[in-house]
Amino acid sequence: MRAAQKFVSAQNMPATPPQAPPNGLDEEIMFQNPDSSQEGLEKHGWKGYRAVLISSAIILCQFVQMIPYGAGISGATNMAKELGTAPENAVWIVGSYPMTQGTFVLIGGRVGAIYGHKNAVVAAGVIWVIFHLISGFMRNVIALSIMRALSGIGGAFIVPNAIALLTITFPPGKMRNISIGVFGAMAPIGAAGGSVFSGFFGQLAPWWWLFFFLAILGTLVFTLFFFVVPSEAQPMDPNGTFDYIGAYLGVAGLVLFNFVWTEASVGGWNKPFVYILLIVSVVHFALFTIWESRFAKEPVLPLTIWASPSFAAMAISAFLTFMGVGIAIWYITAWNINIRGYTIFSSAAAYVPLAVCGAVAAILSAKAISYIAAEYIMAIGSLASCVALILIATMPEQQTYWAQVFPALILVAFGPDFLFTAAQIIASVTVKREQQGIAGSLIGTLLSYGLATGLGFAGTVEFYTNDGEYQKTAERDGMTMLKLLQKRQSEGKVIEFAFIAQFVD
């Protein structure tokens, strides 16, 4: 098959390609960090325990920054009710965090390359903690959504720089593969944990205590990170420049595009400013493409990255899959609470299999990468997400949890884990060495931005299915919500299968 000719089997292929870096130095000289290899770790007398501690501190950062996503999904309906606003406005509480978290990931890696990856994570952690603390004092949807969006910027800078620290600290091999696999698992595990925390505080305490709890938890995790994780001897590109114009055009385009679809899910497309902002976002994308290809000296996203073998097909397939995962988790929650009468806490408890299976999937993906080519692992992850969506879209109004929701959540856990791990490995093999950090950031963008954008698309389908009468129709005939969702998911999955076929064939 063509892809088999483009890729070397994962068992014969290191996680990082053997090309020399741009400055002609090898990786050990580039980072000159006594802790950047297993031998360096052993010099401190910690041996394997030191390595596990460092890896755990980095991975916990990913776990913490994913909690607000699950917490928003599980608790948004209750928060909107407590704040005295219409149920449909809950989508802003849900989508505000992943919107910025997915958007700013694209530039987070570049900031880390210039100023140091550890410094970037620490600064991002401070931002994350501060705005979660402030969120606890907000008493209207707009203010709360803005604070969640600002905290999402902190989360965005954490992801690419944490991944970079894993690849810098651990040389290619088993420890790096396991760490990346577990790091990827923190997406569903963190989201599931957020659902549980949100259910606990929503049912047993005032909802705003959730944000105070997150601020405390974040302080503990980022303090551990600060004292445990070694810094690079110097930033990867200390003399580099930051592409402010490209960053603005790219970030603004992504934010506006997501804003338009989220607003359309609340009020439809009958407002002129929605169309205007959509046009403005497209113009930003066009200007971004022109600027990055012709004028930027050190572009935020070199367009040549899309010419790498199978990279574009991989990126599109990953984005569609992550969109589907976001839709699945949101509508499982909405279905359980609005249609089946689950309490907030019981709805959160329903996601326990997601956390457990996410941990299992992380181990399996890290092991499988040594025996199965990465593109096939990615295809398995996309297929798992597809089957999960079909199970959710075809379930009846009333049914036992174990019949379709339970197996769907198991599959949802395997999808992102397999996909994230495989995508990172594929990106490290197919793109140039100097573009690997950008490729990793782009995959993080696809993950989070896909989760957020999927909510807007699905919400738009729901709005027009219900003729804009959210409350009335949802109470009278909740089945229409998933009937149309089934149709849209089926259409989306046909497209995704086409890209998977292109990627694997």
Q: What is the dihedral of CA 156, 116, 107, 22, to 10 degrees?
A: -140
Residues 33 and 113 in one domain: yes
Does residue 25 have a pLDDT over 60? no
Residues 370 and 381 in one domain: yes
- Report the pLDDT averaged over residues 366-393: 86
- Report the pLDDT averaged over residues 344-370: 82
Q: What is the pLDDT of residue 434?
A: 66
What range defines the domain where residue 393 resides?
A: 2-242+298-504
Residues 218 and 277 in one domain: no
The answer to whether the beta carbons of residues 328 and 389 sit under 8 Å apart is yes
pLDDT bucket at 458, cuts 50 / 70 / 90: confident
Q: What is the pLDDT of residue 403?
A: 93
User: CA dist 30 to 27, 36, 173, 297, Å?
Assistant: 5, 10, 19, 22
Domain count, the chain: 2
Does residue 117 have a pLDDT over 70? yes
Q: How far is 320 from 273, CA to CA, in rounded Å?
A: 27
Q: What is the pLDDT of residue 63?
A: 93
C-alpha closest to that of 356 among 403, 422, 421, 409: 409
The answer to whether the beta carbons of residues 339 and 478 sit under 8 Å apart is yes
Q: What is the pLDDT of residues 412-444, one digit of tens each?
A: 888 877 887 788 777 777 777 667 667 777 887
Q: Which of 41-45, 71-75, 122-126, 388-392 has the highest mean predicted lDDT (pLDDT)?
A: 122-126
- CATH code (residue 235): 1.20.1250.20
Mean pLDDT, the chain, whole residue set: 79
Judged by average pLDDT, the poorest of 37-41, 145-149, 182-186 is 37-41
Percent of the chain residues topping a pLDDT of 70? 82
State pTM to two decimals. Answer: 0.78
Percent of the chain residues topping a pLDDT of 90? 27
**207 Cβ contact partners less than 8 Å away, ≥ 6 residues apart:** 75, 78, 79, 82, 201
Residues 98 and 232 in one domain: yes
Judged by average pLDDT, the poorest of 148-157, 425-434, 453-462 is 425-434
CB atoms within 10 A of CB 398: 8
Q: How far is 430 from 310, CA to CA, in rounded Å?
A: 8
Residues 252 and 368 in one domain: no
Residues 234 and 258 in one domain: no
Does residue 113 have a pLDDT over 80? yes
Q: What is the DSSP string of 265-332?
A: HHHTT-SHHHHHHHHHHHHHHHHHHHHHHHT-SS-SS-GGGGGSTTHHHHHHHHHHHHHHHHHHHHHH
Residues 263 and 408 in one domain: no
Residues 276 and 176 in one domain: no
Q: How far is 308 from 200, CA to CA, in rounded Å?
A: 46
Q: How far is 40 from 408, CA to CA, in rounded Å?
A: 43
pLDDT bucket at 61, cuts 50 / 70 / 90: very high
Identify residue 374 by its one-letter amino acid code.
A
Q: What is the pLDDT of residue 468?
A: 53
Residues 174 and 139 in one domain: yes
- Report the pLDDT averaged over residues 27-44: 38
Residues 409 and 342 in one domain: yes
User: CA dist 39 to 44, 235, 325, Å?
Assistant: 9, 21, 40
List alpha helices for 104-243, DSSP H: 105-115, 117-135, 141-169, 174-204, 209-228
C-alpha gyration radius of the chain: 22
Residues 115 and 18 in one domain: yes
- Please identify, among 275, 297, 319, the residue that sits at the C-terminal boundary of a domain: 297
The answer to whether the beta carbons of residues 215 and 9 sit under 8 Å apart is no
More confident residue, 211 or 176: 211
More confident residue, 137 or 333: 137
Residues 84 and 153 in one domain: yes
- Please identify, among 297, 315, 335, the residue that sits at the C-terminal boundary of a domain: 297
